[in-house]
Structure 1
Amino acid sequence: MRAAVVRNETVMTEPAVDAIVEVRGISKTYGSVEALREIDLDFPRGKLTSLLGPSGCGKTTLLKIIAGLIEADGGTVAVNGKKVSAPGPERAFVFQDFALLPWATVLRNVAFGLELRGTAKEERETTARRYIKDVGLAGFEDKYPHELSGGMRQRVGLARALCVDADVLLLDEPFSAVDEQNRRKFQEDLIRLRTNQNKTFIFVTHSIEEAVYISDRIVLLSPRPGRVSRIIEPQIDRSGDPDRIHRDRHYLDTVEEIWQGLKQYVE
């Protein structure tokens, strides 16, 4: 099979089948810098979509607009059919720099979102322990962030996002601060979590290889101002040995196809 490519998604007027997030006409300018221009996108429920493009194309800006962390200058975002303009419980954000509470244990960090919602202590800690185990940190519940490696702190951030049971998880280059070995393991864990949790993931990355490896869909953004250039759906069998994927012809062909499209923008 070849990678399926959808071009000119910006002409779409009808939402994709079972789109959980609908982005329509999103634009954003910082002073004299136009970051995004008329972004139209649908994010299918239960899929992992990566945002990929040259530096400065507005990937993180778009992610934060969907999260409700920054306000767009024009356009709308809808989640589950309802327009949103601020953070909400149906979305959870995993920050690049972990954003953990330094004075709180792993258990309390993971349960913090539920604590803010007023969930009873026993219930929130039971839920937190389940997700701590899911991300491979069982036994570290009573540790503090400064006692953990960078990779472990990122796992805490992911567990915290999963713990609040949001429909959509937004991840801003979550693996960029860890070494290559941990990055590979995180990628495998993310594929497994998406399958087991049936959540919708929107993932920002600079890595072509990472995007092709983990994604159901890859949205390529053009150089600033960011616009939807094309959408690629890697046709890759992710069952069995994960290491096999990196040797798969369809994986390698898709990586090369994307690189050929992006290398002109690399200085």
Structure 2
Amino acid sequence: MRASVVRNGPTSVIEPIDSIVKVRGISKAYGNVEALRGIDLDFPRGKLTSLLGPSGCGKTTLLKIIAGLIDADAGTVAVEGKTVTRPGPERAFVFQDFALMPWATVIRNVAFGLELRGTRKAEREDIARHYIAEVGLASFEDKYPHELSGGMRQRVGLARALSVKADVLLLDEPFSAVDEQNRRKFQEDLIRLRTNQNKTFIFVTHSIEEAVYISDRIVLLSPRPGRISQIIEPDIDRSGDPERIHRDKHYLDTVDEIWRGLKRYVE
């Protein structure tokens, strides 16, 4: 491991990070159900951080608070030093259920955020075409969502998030609705996009293997109320053959370490 930081216990010393998103004291309850309690967390600029933990631990709630889609009961979120009070252009959200407009073509869906900003049609369509190609959907610009597979619809959602040129991309289990083959391909594409686009990704997943495969940093949350249990930075070389990673000793050891940390929460 490069670094493993344990909250509420012995803490390893790691170098300060260049944070684009700072979460301080975030708590959230839904009625009598406490979802999050006292979350303090920094998200490194240009890195992919996964939120991982048992069902109901508040992963998606935290993501939506960062997005400005729901309000916290206590605490603050700041992006580039500015307090988050609502959704903003520096953040883009990729929903689990695609959230595409069924009556609009692929290019219209991808360009929609730019349309809302008042970008000229020719310019926004040029930008949309670029990101449609980036996610592997070139030649599908004029198709409608019902003409696409689930995996292709998710690619449209990702292209839409990329097209608005947000600094922070928030992804809520974006690959959960696709088959294993497409999921593997998406993971490879995401690693490539992270390198090419130099954006900050915050990624919610239930899969330990997925988190270790794609992440620079993994935040483990405890069961409800969600608190930071551990932060792990996988020491994995992602160059070369992607299939080699799944056989890499560091990859396998990291998966085992995370499972040991989580299995005590599984009944």
Smaller-chain TM-score bracket: over 0.9
1:237 aligns with 2:237: yes
1:3 Cα deviation (Å)? 4.5
Q: TM-score, normalised by structure 2?
A: 0.97
What are the within-5 Å matches in structure 2 for residues 109-188 of structure 1? 109-188=109-188
Tell me the equivalent position of 1:19. Answer: 19
Paired AA for residue 163 in structure 2: C
1:197 aligns with 2:197: yes
Tell me the equivalent position of 2:207. Answer: 207
Tell me the equivalent position of 2:83. Answer: 83
Supply the distance in 2 between the matched residues of 1:96 and 1:84 (Cα, whole angstroms).
22
Tell me the equivalent position of 1:51. Answer: 51
Paired AA for residue 17 in structure 1: I
Identical amino acids, percent of aligned pairs: 84
Q: Secondary structure at the match of 2:152?
A: helix
Q: Secondary structure at the match of 1:22?
A: strand
Supply the distance in 2 between the matched residues of 1:30 and 1:195 (Cα, whole angstroms).
37
1:8 aligns with 2:10: no
Q: Deviations over 1:149-172 (max 9, x none)?
A: 000000000000000000000000
1:265 Cα deviation (Å)? 1.5
How many residue pairs align between the two structures?
263
Tell me the equivalent position of 2:36. Answer: 36
Q: Secondary structure at the match of 2:238?
A: coil
Tell me the equivalent position of 1:92. Answer: 92
Supply the distance in 2 between the matched residues of 1:120 and 1:251 (Cα, whole angstroms).
46
Q: 1:197/1:9 Cα in 2 relative to 1: closer, same or farther (>3 Å)?
A: farther
1:17 Cα deviation (Å)? 2.6
Q: Deviations over 1:131-180 (max 9, x none)?
A: 00000000000000000000000000000000000000000000000000
| Residues 93 and 161, structure 1, Cα contact 8 Å, conserved in 2 | yes
Supply the distance in 1 between the matched residues of 2:125 and 2:72 (Cα, whole angstroms).
36
Paired AA for residue 210 in structure 2: E
Q: Secondary structure at the match of 1:113?
A: helix
Paired AA for residue 47 in structure 1: K
Supply the distance in 1 between the matched residues of 2:16 and 2:60 (Cα, whole angstroms).
23
| Residues 9 and 231, structure 1, Cα contact 8 Å, conserved in 2 | no
Q: TM-score, normalised by structure 1?
A: 0.97
Supply the distance in 1 between the matched residues of 2:4 and 2:142 (Cα, whole angstroms).
47
Supply the distance in 1 between the matched residues of 2:237 and 2:179 (Cα, whole angstroms).
26
Q: Deviations over 1:214-245 (max 9, x none)?
A: 00000000010000011000000000000000
Supply the distance in 1 between the matched residues of 2:2 and 2:251 (Cα, whole angstroms).
9
1:48 Cα deviation (Å)? 0.1
- Please provide the CA RMSD for this pair: 1.3
Q: Secondary structure at the match of 1:174?
A: coil
| Residues 175 and 186, structure 1, Cα contact 8 Å, conserved in 2 | yes
Supply the distance in 2 between the matched residues of 1:16 and 1:37 (Cα, whole angstroms).
24
Q: Secondary structure at the match of 1:37?
A: strand
| Residues 26 and 75, structure 1, Cα contact 8 Å, conserved in 2 | yes
1:222 aligns with 2:222: yes
1:4 Cα deviation (Å)? 2.0
Q: Secondary structure at the match of 1:55?
A: coil
| Residues 16 and 42, structure 1, Cα contact 8 Å, conserved in 2 | no
Structure 1 unaligned blocks of 5 or more: none
Structure 2 unaligned blocks of 5 or more: none
Paired AA for residue 83 in structure 1: T
Q: Deviations over 1:163-205 (max 9, x none)?
A: 0000000000000000000000000000000000000000000
